[in-house]
Amino acid sequence: MEKKKKGRILSGMRPTGKMHLGNYVGALENWVVMQGEFENYHLIADYHALTTNPDTSEILENTLEMVADWLAVGINPEKSPIFRQSQIKEHAELHLLFSMLITTARLERNPTLKEQVKDLNMESLVYGHLGYPVLQAADILLYKGNVVPVGEDQAPHVEITREIARKFNATYGEVFPIPKTKLTTFARLPGLDGNKMSKSVGNTILLSDEEEEIKKKIRKAITDPQKIRRGDPGRPEICLVYTYHQRFNSTETEEIFKNCKSGALGCVDCKMKCASAIADAISPFTEKQRYYSQHFGEVLDVLKDGEQRAGAVAADTMKEVRDVMSLG
C-alpha cells in the first residue's frame, strides 16, 4: 500500500532548454526524491519566462529539450504531472484576481525582485516582472499547494503567496490553504569558471554531454592558480575540480585531497579522474535522454496528458473561487 503523502507541492522552471549539472544538483535530484514523499506537480513556467525576455520563438523547443532531461533523470509523469503554464488558462485568470489584493508598494519591497533587477542589469522594470510573485502565488494556490520547498533567497516570494491566500480567504471565503515554507539547502554547483553555472555564459556541463565532451570541458576548468606543474603542492579546499570530486567522486576524495596537497597528483590527471566520475554519474540518464530527444512527439504527449490532469484540478479550484466571489 502506498504511504500517505506529506502534502502537495508545485515545483517548476522556466523553459531554458537542455539541463546542466547545476540544474540536476540544485533541483532535479531533489524532485525525484520528493516524488515518493509528496504529491508533486511540475510546471513549465513559460509565462514567467516572458517577464525578462518577450521573445517566444524558442520556447517550445526549449520546453521539449528540458522535459526530455526531466524524464531522463527520473521524473515520473504518471506520479507527477508535467504541464505548461500557458496551456492552463486558469493561471492567468487567478493571477488577475490576485493582483487586486496586493499593492504595488508591497511588491516593490520584495528583496528577491531587487536582486533580480541588479543581477540582470535591468534599466527599467516591466509590469509583468513586478507582478512575478503574484503569478507565482496563482501557480501554487491553483493546485492548493500546502508546502513550498525553496532556498532562503526565495522565501520572500512564498510570504507574498501566504499574504494573498490569507487576504483572499478573509475577503471572500475559505478556499486556499496557507502554504508552509519548506526551507531547503539547494546545492550550488559552480560553473567551469568558478562562477554561477549558466548556459548563457558557456561554463556548463550538460546532462546530455558524452564523456569525451565532458573531458574537453573539464580540461578548461579553473584550478588552484598556485599549482602550476605536477609536484607543486596544491590547495584542494579552494579548487573547483575538487568541489566536483566531492559531489561526484566521494569515495576517492580523501586520497585526492592528500595527493593534491603533497603534489603527487597533477591537475591534468585529477581533471581526467573528475571527468570520468561525472560521466559515470550521469550515464544512467544518457540513453533515456537520447531517446526522448529523438522522440519529441512522446514528450509532447507527456505534456498534454499532464495538462489535462492539472487542468482538471485548476478548473475545480477556479469554480470554487468564482462561487465565493459571486462570479459564477
Q: Which of 6, 79, 114, 196 is catalytic?
A: 196
Q: Could you tell me how far CA 34 lies from the centroid of its own chain? A: 14
Query: Where do we find the cell 471565503?
Result: 173
Shortest CA distance to 186 belongs to which of 224, 155, 219? 155
Active site residue 271: no
Q: 8-13 and 39-44: which strand pairing?
A: parallel
Query: Where do we find the cell 540544485?
Result: 26
CB atoms within 10 A of CB 287: 10
152 CB burial (10 A radius; 0-12, 13-18, 19+):
exposed
Strand stretches in the chain, DSSP E: 8-13, 39-44, 82-84, 147-150, 180-183
Query: Where do we find the cell 580540461?
Result: 219
Shortest CA distance to 115 belongs to which of 149, 148, 153, 159? 153
Active site residue 227: no
Q: Which of 199, 215, 261, 288 is catalytic?
A: 199
Show the 3-state SS of 125-159.
CCHHHHCHHHHHHHHHHHCCCCEEEECHHHHHHHH
Angle between helix axes 155-172 and 111-119 (nearest 10 degrees) is: 140
* Cβ neighbours for 82, distance < 8 A, ≥ 6 positions apart: 42, 44, 67, 70, 75, 302, 303, 306
Taking the C-alpha atoms of residue 204 and residue 121, their distance in angstroms, rounded to an integer, is: 22
Active site residue 216: no
CB atoms within 10 A of CB 274: 25
Q: Are 163 and 133 within 8 A, CB to CB?
A: no
Catalytic residue set: 118, 196, 199
